[in-house]
């Protein structure tokens, strides 16, 4: 359901994309939302400058660490959703204007990793990244975003980390970190459509759809990304990147991968081929989000037990770091909140 705000959002996006397409450099705008897993916060940053504007506390147990992990903005830009991984896992709903909490639901899972929204924004998918499950199948929680009721929670595979809708909303790609699989669910009834195997021990982590049938998969324990074509499930292409792929986003002609293991971001040129590697000035790169014009990548880094996490903005054309801000501890998810 896209309201007037959604129409406006699309208009602004169109203007931004058109500007870039016309050869104008995109001016970063709007706000960034990043999750700080070890301080139980979401920070709000100025996407243009990296300045920290605000912070939210997601802290049902002030004496414990609850780990805000995934974050996603609704297609109409009016709400955003955050997962809490620890304790009894929860999904939180906020209004973008005023950053007001308007809901929270306890998920029927052991944990919670990323949150992904259906293209119409009506459904949120939260995988149960339960690494301690000993190989048992874990669930994906599907939540109606309007009233935060649980729609379904099918058991899909061991330790799913990402569950991403295809652009047309027909499929959901689920990465099985402990199962070396990519599972494609039919979004209509959440049944299996395809199960695609990856190399043993590669640890599938995140996906990004290139179109309605092609998608990229990052591997936490391998130095490449897998390019799958659902119309030709037997074939796959490997794109060389650096080691330990975490999140990935795909723009019009580039894929951007945060390499947690290598401490870099890979920018893959999908038209001409070739990969540029950019060293991130922080430990353990994790999350990726693209600017509305898709010319800037915002990349979070977790930090480690001696250093803070943070965010960098990377110009995808030049590979230059536009700005860099240390913010949060165990900084994980990132999403763009457009103007």
Partner 1 sequence: MSHVPNIRSIHRLLTALCAGLAWAACGGPSEPQLPPELSFSATVLELGTLREGEVDIRNSGGQSVGPVEMISGVVQDLAGATVPGVHITSDPTEVPTLNPGDTRTIHLGLTNEASLQPGFYDAVLVASGGVAPCDVHGLGSCLRGISAQVTIHFTVLSAEEEAAASLTLSTSTTEIRTGDVIGLAVEVRDDAGELIQGAPVTWTLNPATAGFVGATGQFVAYESGAVTITAQVGDAEDAVTFNVSERGLQGAFTTVGRARETLRFTSDLWLHGDVAYSGTWGSRQVGDSVRFGNMLNVWDIADPASPALSSTLELDARTVNDVKVRADGTLAIATHEGSANGLNGITILDLTDPLEPEVVGRFTDELQSGVHNVWIDGDYAYLVVDGIGNGLRILDISDPSLPTVAARFWAGESFLHDVYVRDGLAFLSHWNAGLIILDVGHGIAGGTPSTPVEVARLSDLSGQTHNAWYWPEAGYVFVGEEDFSAPGVMHVVDVRNLHEPREVATYEIKGQPPHNFWLDESQSTLYLAWYGQGLRALDVSGDLMGQLDRQGREITGALYNFGSGACDRSTAFTCSWTPQLHQGLLWVSDMNEGLIALEPPR
Which residues bind to partner 1, rule: CB under 8 A?
Answer: 4, 7-8, 11-12, 15, 27-29, 37-39, 46, 48-51, 55, 57, 59, 61-65, 86-89, 93, 95, 100-106, 109-111, 130-134, 146-149, 283-284, 302, 304-306, 308, 321-325, 329-330, 339
Q: Return the number of the residue (84 or 289) whose C-beta is nearest partner 1.
A: 84
The DSSP H or E segment spanning 104 is: strand 100-106
Closest distance to partner 1 from the beta carbon of 260 (Å): 10
Residue the block writes with tokens 């998918």? 125
Q: Return the number of the residue (117 or 184) whose C-beta is nearest partner 1.
A: 117
Tokens at residue 144, please? 């109606």
- As a whole number of angstroms, the distance between CA 125 and CA 172 comes to 9
The DSSP H or E segment spanning 18 is: helix 4-21
Closest distance to partner 1 from the beta carbon of 167 (Å): 25
Closest among 49, 92, 63 to 333, alpha carbons compared: 92
Closest among 278, 332, 279 to 308, alpha carbons compared: 332
Closest distance to partner 1 from the beta carbon of 267 (Å): 18
Using the 8-state DSSP alphabet, how is residue 199 labeled? -
Residue the block writes with tokens 């100025």? 46
* Beta-sheet pairing, 100-106 with 41-46: unpaired
- As a whole number of angstroms, the distance between CA 35 and CA 332 comes to 6
- As a whole number of angstroms, the distance between CA 279 and CA 10 comes to 33
- As a whole number of angstroms, the distance between CA 268 and CA 263 comes to 16
């Amino acid at each position: 359901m896209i309201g007037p705000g959604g129409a406006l959002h699309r208009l602004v996006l169109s203007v931004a994309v058109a500007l870039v397409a016309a050869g104008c450099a995109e001016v970063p705008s709007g706000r960034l939302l990043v999750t700080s897993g070890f301080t139980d916060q979401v920070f709000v940053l100025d996407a243009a400058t990296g300045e920290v504007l605000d912070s939210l506390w997601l802290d049902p147990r002030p004496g414990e660490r609850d780990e805000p992990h995934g974050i996603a903005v609704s297609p109409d830009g009016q709400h955003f959703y955050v997962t809490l991984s620890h304790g009894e896992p929860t999904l939180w709903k906020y209004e973008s204007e005023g950053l007001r909490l308007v809901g929270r639901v306890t998920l029927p899972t052991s944990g919670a990793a990323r949150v992904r929204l259906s293209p119409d924004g009506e459904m949120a998918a939260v995988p149960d990244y339960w690494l301690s499950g000993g190989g048992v199948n874990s669930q994906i929680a599907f939540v109606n975003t309007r009233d935060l009721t649980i729609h379904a929670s099918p058991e899909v595979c061991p330790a799913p980390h990402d569950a991403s809708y295809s652009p047309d909303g027909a499929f959901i790609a689920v990465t099985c970190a402990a199962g070396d699989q990519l599972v494609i669910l039919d979004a209509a009834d959440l049944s299996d459509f395809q199960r695609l195997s990856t190399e043993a021990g590669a640890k599938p982590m995140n996906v990004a759809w290139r179109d309605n049938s092609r998608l990229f998969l990052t591997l936490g324990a391998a130095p490449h990304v897998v390019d799958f074509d659902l119309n030709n499930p037997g074939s796959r292409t490997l794109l060389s990147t650096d080691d330990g792929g975490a999140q990935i986003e795909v723009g019009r002609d580039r894929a951007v991968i945060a390499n947690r293991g290598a401490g870099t971001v890979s920018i893959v040129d999908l038209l001409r081929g070739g990969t540029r590697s950019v060293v991130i000035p922080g430990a353990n790169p994790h999350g990726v989000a693209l600017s509305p014009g898709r010319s800037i990548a915002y990349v979070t880094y977790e930090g480690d037990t001696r250093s803070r996490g943070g965010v960098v903005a990377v110009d995808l054309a030049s590979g230059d770091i536009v700005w860099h801000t240390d913010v949060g501890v165990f900084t994980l998810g990132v999403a763009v909140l457009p103007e």
